[in-house]
Structure 1
Amino acid sequence: MVDLGRVQKELQECNKNMDVSGINVKPKGDSLTHLIGTIPGPVGTPYEGGIFQIDIVLPDGYPFEPPRMQFATKVWHPNISSQSGAICLDILKDQWSPALTLKTALLSVQALLSAPQPDDPQDAVVAQQYLKDYQTYVGTARHWTENFAMVSSRGHEEKVQKLLEMGFAEASVRSALAAVGGDENLALEKLCSG
């Protein structure tokens, strides 16, 4: 049985420093065992500027079993399936420990975006491209980030700027806009409600 008290504490921990980490986790519906997490693409990578959603399912044995995570946002990466979003990461499999949390797992997934492991791929096609034609890999990953992980609407930066001028942190503003499909008014409501 999932320890719901621990899950609630972990959700608070994930969301309390969102301005700094950019990481956010919330229930997907009414259950605390099906969550949606968001991570920002790491700076200096082809994923920079993207907000990536990760579907999280907590098995009955959590925290003694790892959470099941997969990207809901399409991503071009050797260790993430371009088809299903499955993630190849040791702490989500045999290296999981009950001492780890949802936040440390999401930080590890974010770190994976910065440091692909093409020798242990989830997506062999992407891994081959990474190893044989790195520039094409970077271009493709950037293209996928722009198409699938960025809120695409004209005036997006103006919306960000307007909300920043109201005193909100940039990571929170970008995350709120991404969560509501770029609707400035809904983003403002989200930011004001915490």
Structure 2
Amino acid sequence: MATSSRTRRIAKELADIKGDASSKITAEAAESTADLTHLKASIPGPPGTPYEGGSFIVDVRIPTEYPFRPPVMKFDTKVWHPNISSQTGAICLDTLSTAWSPVLTIKSSLLSLQSLLESPEPKDPQDAEVARMVMADPDGFNSKAHEWAVSHAGAPQNPNFSSVRPRTTMAKQEIDESRQVSNSFELRRYHGYNKELVNRFVNMGFDVDRVVEAFQFVGIDKNNGEDYILEEAYMGDITARLLGEP
């Protein structure tokens, strides 16, 4: 799609969002310029959830290939949620990756994020620590999610979520499920590569996801998840990819 066509589509989508006051969703250019490839959006916390009454800011980057590739979104507002990184705001949502379609829009993506706040998926986590808490101590999760919404998103205090009831001892099944969530998170993040192998590059200052992408681009053997020493040529190719060299 030509740049002008993409810009027209984005402008129309932003106008549609502005014209739908009932959704209480907003989106506009991040800077006071005509550049519509970097947006700041806000979504209200869904009623009946620990996030109710809060306003959550989302950073939106529109790729050159839009709408054939999804917008890249992350939460600027800190959120305690299993599918949102409590550290970086990164989001685990299929409509922003594998389930994306060109018929979807910025607005529909933001509505999907609002639905995600309402319906967490702890067995497909972005943040394993939060996912374990959802499954092992749902009352504690609701309380902490609400505490963060009050502190970071301006939500009003809600007595339904403000107090934590006493924790019960985790049953063996809950412990097993918690461990499965943690293991699943690690396997999914490292895509079958040995963690130590990947972390040799992470320790150089690169993000895990970028290192895994570089491994896949270069064609590094997963070696059944076992650690091994990479050949020097592969080391150079991976480093070049990570540094963005042609």
TM, length-normalised to structure 2? 0.60
SS at match of 1:94: coil
Equivalent position of 2:15 in the other structure: 12
The count of corresponding residues between Structure 1 and Structure 2 is 151
Computed over aligned residues only, the root mean square deviation of the Cα atoms, in angstroms, reads 1.1
Equivalent position of 1:77 in the other structure: 81
CA contact (8 A) 2:54 2:154 kept: yes
Runs of 4+ in 1 over 2 A off after TM superposition: none
Equivalent position of 2:72 in the other structure: 68
Q: What is the deviation of 1:77?
A: 0.2
Partner Cα separation in structure 1 for residue 71 and residue 7 of structure 2: 14
Unaligned runs of 5+ in 2: 157-246
The 5 Å alignment of 1:1-194 reads: 2=3, 3-18=6-21, 20-29=22-31, 30=33, 31-150=35-154
Partner Cα separation in structure 2 for residue 147 and residue 16 of structure 1: 30
SS at match of 2:8: helix
Q: What is the deviation of 1:50?
A: 0.2
Q: Which amino acid aligns with 2:16?
A: E
SS at match of 1:70: strand
TM, length-normalised to structure 1? 0.76
Partner Cα separation in structure 1 for residue 57 and residue 127 of structure 2: 19
- Between structure 1 and structure 2, the one with the greater Rg is 2
SS at match of 1:110: helix
Q: Deviations over 1:140-187 (max 9, x none)?
A: 0000000000079xxxxxxxxxxxxxxxxxxxxxxxxxxxxxxxxxxx
Unaligned runs of 5+ in 1: 153-194
SS at match of 1:53: strand
Question: What is the identity percentage for the equivalent residue pairs of Structure 1 and Structure 2?
Answer: 49
SS at match of 2:59: strand
